[in-house]
Structure 1
Amino acid sequence: MSVPSLQRLSITKECATYGSDEPRLEISTPCLKYLKIFECRGYYNFLEDMPKLVEADVSVDMSKNEKLLRVLSSVEHLVICLYPSIVLDLTDSLIFNRLLHLELNTYPEYTEDQLYCLGSEPSSVPKCLSFHLESIQWRGYAGTLDEREAAAYILKNAHRLKTSTIRLHRTCMDNGQIIMKDLTSMSKASASCQLVIV
């Protein structure tokens, strides 16, 4: 698909319509400003950067679409589904100079090959996290070790953070009070950050 003037792109496929097909799409849209992909089985190859991209809402299999993160680096508003262990890679391996709002939807149900812990924090704190990020929403937080380390890292280093909303995963409601206490005890770089846990 090559549409040089395209500014909005939405790719959606409902789970109920899945067959055995895995869509493969090469995309060339250098003027794109808004991107939404809700399609967990496809492969998407973006042939060039999208420096005008402002907002992205992405729910894909990141193991098949590793290069997708590169084209998201100019966004101001990012909604993305990730395994918690990838959260630090998201901020360390890429430069998100304009990122103001980050919404994470995490997958708490792991298979054995996805159960790996964060090795260490990134060697340096990305500027987007230290000086730009103003709000974060985290959906599906279950209090796993990976999630806890990622949350602690973000709160400890986000100096401009104004709001941090963490929505607990439905499976951890029995331990909700313990998880809430743990989150509220984490040190925060921003004294004005309002932490909301629901």
Structure 2
Amino acid sequence: MDRISPLHDELLLKIFSFLPTTKHVVATMVLSKRWQPLWMMVPRLVYDDTSYQNVGYGSFRRFVDRSLLFHKAPVLETLRFKVTQTSGVGDIPLWTRAAEKHALRCRMLVTLTNNVILVDAASPISFPTLKILELNSVKYPGDEFVKRFLSNCILFLRLGVEQCPGDNVTVFTVRVPSLESLYLRKSSDTDVDDADDAKGFVIDAPSLKYLGITDTIGGFCVIENEMPNIVKANVEADYKCVSNILVHTAPDRPRPCWIEPSSIPECLLTSLETLDWDNYEGAEEEKEVATFILRNGNCLKNVAVFSSTSIDSDEKLEMIKDLSYWPRRSPACHLTFD
């Protein structure tokens, strides 16, 4: 401590900002009388209830309440909550509003994880200044709650979701105009049943730049509107029917189906080089999707199509003949079929 105690307050605050949580920052007040008020000016508040599991959630709540009450930094750069205990989720909106009182600039991150249960309260849960949210193994009151909950976050920029078994959501709907980054994942231990193809995601995020979807369970994903700003998309999915994959659908259609987009995605024109298609069955929707990609894939180099194990040798031969007539925009495109 002797080496850093002579440092100016501004530099000490910078050092304190690198500590993992606000609990660690507050603990510095016992090291020096001069340091006692410094923690109140640190522009970063990070709360994690995992270190309070042995003493009860009440102790964590009291710590957050008191530290927010005494905190005096004129600028709050980061406010982060990691709540793993069921009883804590309802407190987060109150804490964020308390922090907003003196924060001239605030970038918030909220993490809800480890089987937290969100409750459908009488008044809507709202995070009006929230920009980043992670929902990991969270249980919800239902589909409609998810739609309301996310739509109330009007400044949303980044959302990560990992669905868990029994989360009470059939269709996870993300309608957030401001959203720039979205990652959706169905947990690999999610229960699989005959109704899985009626479950999935609905996305309406016109400002989206980054999209990630991991779904090895099945179901569907509906893109309700075009996303012209997409820079990068990573989709890992094992769907029974190609019409379930990232399709553009009209609101009156009961299930997704392929409708060719009005504009060609930028990534298809400028960057896509490799396409591997597993379990190809030669359905009409599959042909339409495949020919659209080949017809517009300006940079395609390798396209590999692997037939479904249920296809016999005669059907495979017909597929090979059909594939040979597919138009290819890229002269360097090499097409193989197995």
TM bin, normalised by shorter chain, reads 0.5 to 0.7
Counterpart residue number, 1:192: 332
Counterpart residue number, 1:163: 302
Counterpart of 2:332, as a letter, is S
Deviation at 1:99, TM superposition (A): 3.4
Counterpart of 2:227, as a letter, is L
For residues 1-198 of structure 1, what are the structure 2 equivalents within 5 Å? 4-6=109-111, 24=143, 26=146, 30=156, 32=158, 42-46=170-174, 48=176, 50-53=179-182, 65-66=201-202, 68=203, 70=205, 73-75=208-210, 93-95=226-228, 97-99=230-232, 105-108=238-241, 121-174=260-313, 175-198=315-338
- Could you tell me the percent identity over the aligned residues? 18
| Alignment check: 8 A CA contact 1:104 1:138 kept | no
| Alignment check: 8 A CA contact 1:137 1:165 kept | yes
Deviation at 1:109, TM superposition (A): 9.9
Distance in 2 between residues matched to 1:137 and 1:196, nearest whole Å: 10
Deviation at 1:172, TM superposition (A): 1.9
1:28-86 per-residue CA deviation (whole Å, 9 max, x = no partner) reads 595657655587x7222336454234x655697577633x2638943366556677xx9
Change in CA separation of 1:183 and 1:149 when aligned onto 2, cut-off 3 Å = same
- SS at structure 2 position matched to 1:65: strand
Distance in 1 between residues matched to 2:232 and 2:170, nearest whole Å: 26
- The CA RMSD measured in Å over matched residues stands at 4.7
- SS at structure 1 position matched to 2:180: coil
Flag the structure with more relative contact order, 1 or 2, with Cα contacts below 8 A and sequence separation at least 6. Answer: 1
Gaps of 5+ in 2: 1-88, 93-107, 112-132, 188-195, 244-252
1:99-130 per-residue CA deviation (whole Å, 9 max, x = no partner) reads 365556443499xx9899867x4443232322
Q: For the pair shown, which has the larger CA radius of gyration, 1 or 2?
A: 2
| Alignment check: 8 A CA contact 2:206 2:229 kept | no
Distance in 1 between residues matched to 2:268 and 2:224, nearest whole Å: 7
**TM-score (norm: length of structure 1):** 0.59
